[in-house]
Every structure is written in C-alpha cells, then in structure tokens.
Amino acid sequence: MSLSIVKENTEMQLNVNNNVTTAQASNKLVFDTKDLNLWYGNTHALKDINLQINEKEVTAIIGPSGCGKSTYLKTLNRMVELVPTVRTTGEIMYKGKSILDKSFKVEDLRTHVGMVFQKPNPFPKSIYDNIAYGPRIHGIRNKKILDEIVEKSLRGAYIWDEVKDRLKENAYGLSGGQQQRLCIARTLAIEPDVILMDEPTSALDPKSTLKIEDLVQELKKDYSIIIVTHNMQQAARISDRTAFFLDGEVVEFDVTDTIFTNPADKRTEDYISGRFG
C-alpha cells in the first residue's frame, strides 16, 4: 500500500465531523488554536493563545528568546508531551479535530504534521535510507515505490541534482545546508500537510539560507508552513502572516506587511525595529 493511500484513509476519518470555519475570506484553516495555555511545572510558557493558521500559507512566528515560540510549535505536533511536567488547557483543532484529545493518535498527527529543526539532524545512514526511513516505518517495502518516493522527495527539497549520484553515501558527508535540505526532503517523504520549521536557517550560511527561503516559497504551493525565525528580514521576505510572541502571549497577529510596516501594538514596533530582544 503506498503512503498516499494510507494518508487518504486517515484523512477520510479525520474529515468526519469536519466543521472548519474560514479564517479570512475564502482561506481554509489548517490549525485553529483556542485559549491555549501551557505550563512546564510552574512556568507559564503559553498564555491564552488564539491563533488561526491558514492552509497553504507561510506563517512566521517571531519574538525574543524564551517567549514560547518553540513551545507553541511543539504543541502542534504534540512533541511537547515528551516533557513530563507539561500541562495544557484549551484546544488545538487540526482541520476541525481536537488534537490535544488523547483519542487523537499522535502517530497519525505526525504523518500530517512534519517538523524541521534548527540544527540539521540527519540519521547516521545513507542519503537514500534517511528519506526511505519514514515510508518504511509506514510499511512500504517495495523497492520501486521507495525509489520513487526518494527521488520525488529529494527533488521537492531541491537537492536531487546534488546527491543523485551519491545516494548510498552517508548523509553526514553533506554540507550543513545540504543536510538541512535533506531533512526537509525526509519530512516531505511522509507526505505531510503541514511543515513546522524551528529556526531552520540559523545554523546556515547566507547562500544556503537563501536556498531554504526559495524552497519554502515553492513548498507553500502544496503545504502549510509555520516557521519560527529570529531573522526579521526572513519573516518579511517569506511569510504571508506573522505572529509576534512576547512572554508567552501573542501580542499581534496579522498579514506580514502590516506587522512590518504598520503594527498596531507599540511592543511589536519596538521589537521589529530592534529596540529589544
């Protein structure tokens, strides 16, 4: 069974009771976060978060260190559950279904919501096996299908031409920028709807950074992307909407142009003009 069939079946189940409302005009929501609070023990890391993430857009999350950006991202694929002291209240709807509900299987969620981290983290395996890893976990054994998934994913992450003649070599032999695109390809191989990116270019040189930024622009035709960045120019260049987080709260969330040219809140203006953070 190919992965897309697995995925379609899961989606059909998910879409039962789908009562997604529209965000603005005709945009469809992929995530709707309602009154989300999160504590690590006594640390109140997310406070009454209400955010609507549109499908097939790039949403940037900006804000100073420690304001809760990574925490918010990790609630969207429930990675935050790995921390034993975590407690949450409120709701996150993914296409109309509540994902914080324990009846929503985390394995299903992660086939829809992939994640790319700050530091490229390829497995100590060949380039080919890095990409085939997720599909194999989903039970795909057929070599021809795997070959197709590997090529399609590497092409999708704009790295195919650089690696097609060295698929059997260890991924650690790639440059940092290539490793990050390999990790994006690995995410694409599970055919997600959403790609979460936590400062994906902060460890990369300017040239590799631009490659990833171009790639994000291409990917948003097919995927919804949420990207955390400390780089204001990057948020302004590549995102459709921007959320400004401060001390666990969303101070302002609007179309990116407005956030950067005419923010409603003085704290947003102070942050984007470099007065703090």
Ligand X SMILES: Nc1ncnc2c1ncn2[C@@H]1O[C@H](COP(=O)(O)OP(=O)(O)OP(=O)(O)O)[C@@H](O)[C@H]1O
Given the rule CB under 6 A, which residues bind ligand X? Answer: 40, 43, 45, 63, 65-71, 83
The full DSSP string for 163-212 is: HTT-TTSBGGGS-HHHHHHHHHHHHHTT--SEEEEESTTTTS-HHHHHHH
The kind and range of the H/E element at 47 are strand 43-54
Which tokens is 37 given? 């609070």
Looking up tokens 């995530």, which residue turns up?
31
| Interface map 90-129 toward Mg ion (x if CB under 5 A) | ----------------------------------------
Q: HSE on the CB side for 129, CA within 13 Å?
A: 9
Q: Determine the residue with CB nearest Mg ion.
A: 70
**Residue 224's binding partner out of ligand X, Mg ion, none, with CB under 5 to 8 Å set by partner kind:** none
Whether 92 and 75 have beta carbons less than 8 Å apart is answered as yes
113 beta partners:
194
CB of 44 to Mg ion, least distance (A): 17
| CB 98, min distance to ligand X, A | 22
> Smallest gap, in angstroms, from Cβ of residue 81 to ligand X?
11
**Would you count residue 70 as binding Mg ion (CB under 5 A)?**
yes
Please state the closest distance from residue 45 (CB atom) to ligand X, in A.
4
> CB of residue 259 vs ligand X: minimum separation in angstroms?
17
Comparing CB distances to Mg ion, the nearer of 156 and 200 is: 200
Question: Are the C-beta atoms of 180 and 208 separated by less than 8 Å?
Answer: yes
Nearer to ligand X, 128 or 253 (CB): 253
Distance, in Å, from the CA atom of 40 to the CA atom of 37, rounded to the nearest integer, reads 10
- In the list Mg ion, ligand X, none, the entry touching 264 (Cβ below 5 to 8 angstroms by class) is none
CB closer to Mg ion out of 52 and 70: 70
| Identity of the residue, 80 or 215, whose beta carbon is nearer to ligand X in the bound complex | 80
Give the strand order in the sheet containing 29-40: 43-54, 29-40, 86-94, 97-98
| Binding positions for Mg ion, rule: CB under 5 A | 70
